[in-house]
Chains A and B, each alone.
Chain A
Amino acid sequence: MTGVEASKAGSEVPAEKLSGLGIAPGEWESVFRIARERPLDCAWRVLTRAQFVALVCLLVFVEVWLIFDFKSCLTVLNGILVTFYLVLVVYKLYLVHLSLGAPRELKFTPDEVAALRDEELPPYTILVPLFREQESAPRLIEGLRSMDYPKDKLQVLLLLEEDDPETIEAVRAANPPDFITPLIAPHSFPKTKPKACNLGLARATGEYLVIYDAEDRPDPDQIKKAVLGFRRCGPEVVCIQAKLNFYNQRQNLLTRIFTLEYSMWFDLFLPGIGDLRSPIPLGGTSNHFRTARLRELMGWDPFNVTEDCDLGMRLAREGYETRMLDSTTWEEACSDAGFWIRQRSRWTKGYLQTYLVVLRRPFQLTRRIGLLRALGFHLMVAGTPLCLLINPLYWLLTLLWFIFRWEGVAEFFPFPIVLWGMVCLFAGNLVFIYATLLAAYRRGYYDLVKYALLVPVYWLLMSVGAWKGAFQLITRPNYWEKTRHGFDLKAGYRETSGKEASA
């Protein structure tokens, strides 16, 4: 199936239905524009024909090698993986070093924010995709009302789904003010957030645009800070990513460690990546864009389940840059292990999807941003899921060796692989545990620091999610594992605002 066919498959909605929902045919067409006009940038297919052939050739080669020389083949594969691990450890250590130094984010004082006059502020669009979020809707609308931005310059589009009457009803019941507009997308496939966002992009009137999730609580002055950020940066900066963190971090053990992981990602890794000018895998929400540039880029890929990460890569490939903003959006940490694994599986699947999409033109990114920055992309986008996938294998090998002293393991670790392996085992694990400790401390979550020592157990859970995602990449590549929200309300967890949380 070609990109055009993919676009057709997604966009086959009767015109009467579209007009009934108040959507112009052109707006709906634009939702699948990337699949139609740049099929190589679209994750509709996991692999292109060329990638499929290359993969088969590689597998055949490895199999033949295994048959003829089992030991050397496994030793070489092991060497590649261990080397990769080592480079990843060093890279992430360097990111932490960068982030712990001088502030790497765009930072603005309250005085700078207060000095902005309403009349000089640009029109701003907020997109909020909602699907089965009836519990969150009232809270969301209340939060949007309290945003520190002139309401006459604010356009909020609540992106609803036709087959989700409960959320539609909840939004109506909350009686949203005029600047908040519900926009109902017709029932169609794929059922993904980026598809809804593209519809919102088609309707957006703001000079800038940001996405928030239903349960998000951005710092009230975040949009103003983003405006200041865009003014401070040159036109090459098309996206500003705010930090994400959780307001229910102390709900249970899972949310505690999840919070630490998020803090590490958004406070230590991403600012470092931004400083190196490597492509930033965007977070799912709170990315602020220049609307015109985003339209040129054809918005999000509706078939990619981590459309944020994919967009970050496309931005870099087109020569645009992303900066981090020192402002936080508070989200709900998934507190249920089952849903957490589903969410993680989607992230892993999406990262792999994105990596395969970029690999369709393997040298394009390198040509555009240079070898070292492209290396950053490979390490973050491929390295993160790959690590989670192969971790269990190495844990098993380590256990086998330590418990049974099985010499068969040692055969695949000749020098210098054994040396690098030891560095990865002993220093690498410490680096990741320590980075988690530092992230908690830096955020001011002093009481959570001790929980960082439990993070190896959490890695196990991450690997479970990663393997689920990898299998889904084969069986259901475009399926969106929905993260359910509102567990904090059901559990009677008392909400804390961002400031309370970090106090």
Chain B
Amino acid sequence: MSVPSRSAQPPRYALWLFVVLLVVGLGAAWYVMSRSPDFSREAVIRAGVGQDLLAGLPRGRQGLVGSLGWAPLPTLMGLPLLRLPEPFGNLYAFTFMAVAAAAGLCAFLNEWLRRCGVRGGVRFAVTLVVFLSPAIQHPAMMGSSGPFFALMVMATVIFLLHWWETEQLRSLAYLAVTVALAVLTRHQGLLLFIGALLVVLAHLALRPARRNYAEATLIIFLVPPLYAALLWLATNWLIMGDALFFLRGLRTAGASWGEALALLSEGVDWRLALTLAALPLLAWVVYRGARGRRALWVGLPTLAASFLLWWGEGAPEILRPTPADEELAQVVAHLNSVRRHDWVVVSGYRGYEVASAMPGRGRAQLQHVLSFYLDPVLRDTVRRRTYLLVPEPTGADRWEDINLTIPRLYDEGAPFTVYEKSWNHWRLLRVVRVDETDRR
């Protein structure tokens, strides 16, 4: 019994397949996005953080590491492209990366199926179905980190399977690095890490291994993900002065374990996760069995599994990017009408969305801060009129800094604010001095 063999060099056609899928994907993305740009909230925020980083602003450094929701790796990967002119740079940088990840995912899957003995026709059909499925294309075009995370999920499964069978060091090392990258891409990567760790432990428990071997195997597996996590903690400590700053929402809001776990699994669509795991797993399981009817036994189930990606609304939750906030156009229209020297203070990651929607004149008066501090805001009202733009504290927005600092600001306001205007999910409050409030 053997596993799919690993040739010394990846076959050239796998590389060509990747290039072809990349070109096709980029062409399609450019065609769609140039007509109706619909970038994800993630792309907007990451582009904003990246631009701040490139400008050397402290806000950029804080934005890079300070949130569990926006893990740092995709932003860092986008940095080299951000300075390019559109349609290569800025928001398109994240589209480019996501399309490349989708192409890589499909080329990788194709190569794995090839090694499992799936014939060409079925293999390419599976590859195309996966690549063209809305679950992949939609987030790829919108510049989400979803396709990259999906690539990590699939790679983890493939390396785990290969290591389980062969105990090859390379597979173990790649597994560890893949999991580490997943942890730095999305916080759900932690679940992937725990899952992979359980499989590794199970393998070591089932195999009569010596203690030294088991210990060394665990070290090899654990070092990259733990290093990634430690790095995140260390950068938080260095930049924010608190190693656990990126968990601030959970901690300061006094979240329970249940809420923390809910947040951890928020946005995880098990249907997609299972599908991505099932594709290589099915191919591998059947490969070990019926050699004679390999094409049939492997091809059909994998084809069926890949169709699952089209199931439901198209883009499963974990990959489905949050679209840009349509309501922002109305908010920005109003903000553009306020007096030129007035200040609009907007905080946190949502601030990048507002800033992105208010280029030119708007940015001159928009005060975007990542961490919200009340004192400077109150002090500045002496000289100018100041507004606070507050997102509704639901979903991820409940962890936005302004909602953490003044928890009931959106619903009840504060003694130093007066109501100015409201939308469905935004509220504009004017900051007033205490004596002014008294007069009212």
A residues sitting closer than 8 Å to B (CB atoms) are 97, 100-102, 402, 415-416, 419, 426, 430, 433-434, 437-438, 440-442, 446-447, 449-450, 453
Contact = CB atoms under 8 A, between A and B. Distances in A.
Given A101-B6, A102-B8, A415-B54, A442 B216 contact: no
A102 B7 CA distance: 7
Contacts of B56: 415
Contacts of A453: 219, 223
B220 A437 contact: yes
Contacts of A101: 6, 8-9, 170
Given A434-B224, A446-B210, A446-B213, A100 B219 contact: no
A446 B213 CA distance: 5
Nearest to A414: B56
Given A415-B56, A430-B224, A449 B173 contact: no
Interface string B201-220: 00000000010110111011
A415 B169 CA distance: 37
A419 B79 contact: yes
B87 interface: no
Contact of A441 (B8, B216, B238): B216
Given A437-B220, A446-B215, 17 more contacts: A101-B6, A402-B238, A415-B54, A430-B223, A430-B227, A433-B223, A434-B173, A434-B224, A438-B220, A441-B217, A442-B169, A446-B210, A446-B216, A447-B215, A447-B216, A449-B220, A450-B216
Interface in B171-218: 173, 210, 212-213, 215-217
B231 interface: yes
B173 A438 contact: yes
Given A437-B219, A446-B212, A450-B215, A100 B169 contact: yes
Nearest to A416: B80
A104 to B, nearest CB: 8
A449 B215 contact: yes
Interface in B220-239: 220, 223-224, 227, 231, 238
A102 B170 CA distance: 10
B12 to A, nearest CB: 16
B212 A441 contact: no
Interface in B3-55: 6-9, 54
25 contacts: A97-B170, A100-B169, A100-B170, A101-B6, A101-B170, A102-B6, A102-B8, A415-B56, A416-B80, A419-B79, A419-B80, A430-B223, A430-B224, A433-B223, A434-B173, A434-B223, A434-B224, A437-B219, A438-B169, A438-B173, A441-B217, A441-B220, A446-B210, A447-B215, A453-B223
A396 to B, nearest CB: 17
A438 B219 CA distance: 10
A437 B217 CA distance: 10
Contacts of B227: 430
A426 B229 CA distance: 12
Nearest to B219: A449
A275 to B, nearest CB: 9
Nearest to A97: B170
A447 B213 CA distance: 8
Contact of A449 (B6, B216, B231): B216
Nearest to A104: B8
A419 B76 CA distance: 9
Summarize B's interface: helix, strand, loop or mixed: helix
Contacts of B173: 100, 434, 438
A426 B231 contact: yes
Contacts of A441: 169, 216-217, 220
Contacts of A102: 6-8
B117 to A, nearest CB: 20
Interface in B144-186: 169-170, 173
A447 B212 contact: yes
A416 to B, nearest CB: 7
Contacts of A440: 216
A424 to B, nearest CB: 14
Contacts of B170: 97, 100-101
A416 B84 CA distance: 13
Nearest to A275: B8
A261 B54 CA distance: 37
Nearest to A447: B212
A100 B219 CA distance: 17
Interface string B310-339: 000000000000000000000000000000
Contacts of B76: 419
A152 B215 CA distance: 48
A430 to B, nearest CB: 6
Nearest to A422: B76
A415 B79 CA distance: 10
B97 to A, nearest CB: 16
A419 B223 CA distance: 23
B62 to A, nearest CB: 15
A450 B224 CA distance: 14
A437 B213 contact: no
A442 B217 CA distance: 11
Contacts of A437: 219-220, 223
A402 B80 CA distance: 25
A216 to B, nearest CB: 27
A440 B173 CA distance: 13
The residue among B7, B56, B173, B217 with the most chain A CB atoms within 10 A of its own CB is B173
A237 B193 CA distance: 46
A438 B169 CA distance: 8
Nearest to B177: A434
Contacts of A430: 223-224, 227
Contacts of A402: 238
A293 to B, nearest CB: 28
Nearest to B235: A426
B17 to A, nearest CB: 20
Interface in B68-106: 76, 79-80
Closest 9 CB pairs of A and B: A102-B8, A446-B212, A100-B170, A446-B216, A449-B216, A447-B212, A446-B213, A449-B219, A415-B54
A173 to B, nearest CB: 41
A64 to B, nearest CB: 29
B402 to A, nearest CB: 27
The residue among B76, B169, B170, B216 with the most chain A CB atoms within 10 A of its own CB is B216
A453 B170 CA distance: 19
A95 to B, nearest CB: 13
A442 B173 CA distance: 11
Nearest to B228: A430
Contacts of A426: 231
A440 B216 CA distance: 9
A336 B360 CA distance: 67
Contacts of B216: 440-441, 446-447, 449-450
Contacts of A449: 215-216, 219-220
A437 B169 CA distance: 11
A449 B173 CA distance: 13
Contacts of B231: 426
A259 B392 CA distance: 59
A440 B220 CA distance: 10
Contacts of A419: 76, 79-80
A73 B153 CA distance: 46
A376 B216 CA distance: 31
A281 B81 CA distance: 38
Nearest to A418: B56
Contacts of A97: 170
A442 B212 CA distance: 13
A457 B230 CA distance: 19
A462 B173 CA distance: 26
Contacts of A416: 80
Contacts of A447: 212, 215-216
Contacts of B223: 430, 433-434, 437, 453
A453 to B, nearest CB: 8
Contacts of B80: 416, 419
A450 B220 contact: no
Contacts of A415: 54, 56
